Structure 1
């Protein structure tokens, strides 16, 4: 900022200077510009500000040779302009006490320089020198206002970040709760419902194995599978242990990320359980394939069907165990059904 001010007043300084002093004025102005380069280069050093103050004090003391007498007594004094910019800037770089001390030092040096240049009339410059204190005070007030505003902005940003973090934690907790309820719904609740509604009579060989798997899943620590796995293998296990007979139509293997394959297999298990509960038939068809860059799994039956738009929100089978589970892995579930026309559930996820 001072270099910018210096470049503006240098023209006035050269214009005011006597012909025999212009070389000296050019040298002083050039030296100040060079010092500004040093200032920027070492701006983080603690010794820089005191040295900068000494440089400006020296500039003030040599006014006898750099400022014409008629300019020294009024506001056209180019050194006074440099002094003003310096004391204003110092308020943003020091404490309040430090700013006062540096301002006093520079103003005293400026008045001393005027006294050396104009021994008889220098007192006329005192009012201009003292006005520098007012300018420094206004700069300090502005600095305090800006800093207070910045601190308030920091507090607002911090509060917003805390709110965002709390919302993220709450969302994660809700997701964990939904996943826990979905797992409970898909395992023990489904098995107990099958027994309670006499979908099974207790003699099925797979029932004990299913109950054991349910307990194993519920006792396990929740985790997200990583790596790749074969979707066809997982769906084959689902079909073998389903409460209805399942016709599987699929390629030999469909490798894909394990987290998505696990979500599809869980959704397919719930869809087949729904067939046994609600469709009124004991067979279903499971088809695996690809469509462009997506993997498709379709579970269909020729049962009694239903109206999807009339399913109550609290029924978790389609909304939680199927639709939301697919959504969490970037996929979707499409339910197509109408009374008397069977049901088709299409599961889609990106391939890769």
Structure 2
């Protein structure tokens, strides 16, 4: 805000100096035109230095001193008939200086500088026209009013800028809180999905007496469940061979799996992990609900997508009748793919088997 005020002050000041300098040359009597031209040139040169000096502490006091000197020498630089009215080119410089100083300093300092400049202008009029100087008093007082209005305007704009800053900060705070809440909810859903795919599935199989405890794979599966729950997420930006991962999933599945896939298929690790977990859940669902002990696992690429299908010839079901709260379908499969920009589609009919189709983009 201060930088913007300074740039605006420089633009207004420079435009006023050009106009006032032109008026000074036109008003000057011929014998003093050279002197007036020299003063105008000096003021313009100072304005260039003023613009390039930045926000140095000495800038405003020096600028005020030069304007005071300009005011005190009006008897030589201003035409007599323009001394005490609004056509006085020095008055234009005084006004723009008093107004723009309000954007560059504190209220007290700005009021002091404006008072000094206006007093110098009146003193210059007294020296140049002792009998008529009182006529310039209203102009001097109006200059102080203009400086005060400039200060009020600056304060209003600065207040608005601070309110905008607070609004932006509040929106950023709300955005951060929403992002944190979303991340926590994503972590919670991921935890629930992992829990469902691992320990919950094994415990459900035991509790529902789908196994009798003598199966050779049960202890190994329980060990893998504990390892999955204890492991943290791998966030590295790496690639994984999806086919190799799916072979491991197929070996650990509770049903026999016929895998048809290319020798190798690389995917980003997060997408490969999401597909592997979704396939593991789909195969577990085959063991629980399909009533068959075999399934097919098909892997291929199509139109920039990696496609993985889990197919069984079991009893099937009606997907539109699955309750929304069932975590196996909604969380473990569909939402896992949603988090990696993928898609899951389940096709099944009662008595006609089930096909779970998983798709993720290759890049």
Question: What is the CA-CA distance between 1:21 and the residue it aligns to?
Answer: 2.1
- For structure 1, list consecutive stretches of 5 or more residues without a partner in the other structure: none
Work out whether 1:201 is the aligned partner of 2:198: no
Question: What is the CA-CA distance between 1:225 and the residue it aligns to?
Answer: 4.6
Work out whether 1:41 is the aligned partner of 2:62: no
Alignment-derived partner of residue 255 in structure 2: 244
Work out whether 1:92 is the aligned partner of 2:103: yes
In 2: Cα distance, 1:232 partner to 1:37 partner: 71
1:290 counterpart (301, 321, 325): 301
Work out whether 1:145 is the aligned partner of 2:156: yes
1:187 counterpart (174, 180, 198): 198
Work out whether 1:69 is the aligned partner of 2:76: no
> SS state of the match for residue 253, structure 1?
coil
Question: What is the CA-CA distance between 1:42 and the residue it aligns to?
Answer: 1.2
Alignment-derived partner of residue 25 in structure 1: 36
Work out whether 1:325 is the aligned partner of 2:336: yes
In 2: Cα distance, 1:222 partner to 1:115 partner: 84
> SS state of the match for residue 288, structure 1?
strand
Question: What is the CA-CA distance between 1:323 and the residue it aligns to?
Answer: 1.0
Deviations 1:97-147 (A, max 9, x none): 101110111111111111111122212212211211111111111111111
Work out whether 1:52 is the aligned partner of 2:34: no
In 2: Cα distance, 1:286 partner to 1:166 partner: 42
RMSD: 1.4
Alignment-derived partner of residue 127 in structure 1: 138
1:212 counterpart (223, 227, 247): 223
Question: What is the CA-CA distance between 1:166 and the residue it aligns to?
Answer: 0.4
Question: What is the CA-CA distance between 1:239 and the residue it aligns to?
Answer: 0.6
CA shift in 2, pair 1:8/1:340, >3 Å:
farther
- For structure 2, list consecutive stretches of 5 or more residues without a partner in the other structure: 1-11
Q: Normalising by structure 1, report the TM-score.
A: 0.96
Q: In the comparison of the two structures, how many residue pairs are matched?
A: 352
Question: What is the CA-CA distance between 1:175 and the residue it aligns to?
Answer: 0.3
